[in-house]
């Protein structure tokens, strides 16, 4: 289903994004724990927000197909 696909996509992107950020930032051992702590906290909050947004868009899409079938012929 769409949530399973979304979760797999998120995990792949999350991993790739962290690698790219780590390479670009070149943090010291002293900087790294503080940065990644904030980064992870931010991403956890964004995960919740983006999941709600996805659900709203999917709900709208599902309902508009039934309410406005002429648009989907």
Q: How distant is the alpha carbon of residue 31 from its chain centre?
A: 25
Instruction: Please say if the pLDDT value at position 72 is more than 60.
Output: no
Spatial distance between the Cα atoms of 12 and 18, rounded to a whole number of angstroms: 10
CA distances to 21, 25, 57 from 28, rounded to whole Å, are 13, 9, 41
Residue 56 per-residue DSSP state? H
Q: Alpha helix (H) ranges present in 2-70?
A: 2-25, 32-67
Residues 6-60: tens digit of each pLDDT = 888 889 999 999 999 999 999 999 999 999 999 999 999 999 999 999 889 988 8
| Whether the Cβ atoms of residue 36 and residue 44 lie closer than 8 Å to each other | no
| pTM for the predicted model, two decimal places | 0.69
């Amino acid at each position: 289903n769409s949530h399973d696909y979304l979760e797999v996509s998120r995990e792949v992107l999350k991993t790739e994004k962290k690698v790219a950020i780590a390479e670009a930032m070149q943090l010291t051992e002293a900087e790294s724990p503080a940065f990644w702590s904030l980064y992870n906290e931010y991403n956890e909050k964004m995960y919740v927000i983006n999941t709600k947004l996805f659900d709203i868009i999917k709900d709208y899409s599902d309902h508009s197909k039934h309410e406005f079938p002429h648009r989907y012929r």
